[in-house]
Amino acid sequence: MTERPISDRLCEEIQSEFPDFAVRPKAGDALSRAIDGALRVVTLGAQDRYLTEYFTVLGATLYTPPGWDSMGDRERAVLLRHERVHLRQRRRLGRLGMAAVYLIPFLPLGLAYGRARLEWEAYEETLRATAELLGPGAARDPALRERIVGRFLGPDYGWMWPFRRQVERWFDAALGRIEAEGTAGRAEDLPKCRR
Ligand SMILES: [Zn+2]
């Protein structure tokens, strides 16, 4: 019997939790194009990869850049785990609450603490999913640490929380918690959809 891809099963799990969940390409999507234009304006052109590199949940839809099609199964699953956190945040905060925390603090750029905390919660899940699906070594890779920390410091999310030391402390504390939880056998628990 062939195993179904982990990301397909996870996608179904997300759909059973959020029935209107859908995955759509950013390319050719008018709303995504409008957001891309606005981001280029507010970041003075520094964030010009919204359409080509970033995954974005708007409502219950995950909008994907072109790289989605060539991503490996486990990498896709890690990404879906991050985005599921945002879907749960939206349920917790409500659509307007989420928009208020996420979008309004975009101005002033650089001090968006509410958004930084929501993103941090999602990146902690990225880290946990990486440890479980790609192995503890992948979660400990300094390149991953730098990439995630950089997301907070740089223009990607409008200089969301530009305090390197603090973001590094969040990262190291989260990695410590995840390693303490242990990941042995977790991958075995994954095929929940098969029950
Ligand atoms: Zn996110």
List the shell of residues around ion ligand 1, using CB closer than 5 Å: 122
Residue 129, classed as helix, strand or coil, is helix
pLDDT tens track, the chain, 195 positions: 578 899 999 999 999 999 999 999 999 899 889 888 888 887 788 788 888 888 988 889 999 999 998 999 999 999 999 999 999 999 998 877 777 776 655 555 566 778 888 899 999 999 999 999 999 999 999 999 999 999 888 877 767 788 899 999 999 999 999 999 875 445 545 444 433
CA distance 88 to 90: 5
Cis peptide bond upstream of 19, omega within 30: no
186 C-alpha to center of ligand 1: Å?
23
Domain coordinates in residue numbering, the chain: 6-194
164 C-alpha to center of ligand 1: Å?
18
4 C-alpha to center of ligand 1: Å?
26
79 C-alpha to center of ligand 1: Å?
9
CA distance 85 to 45: 28
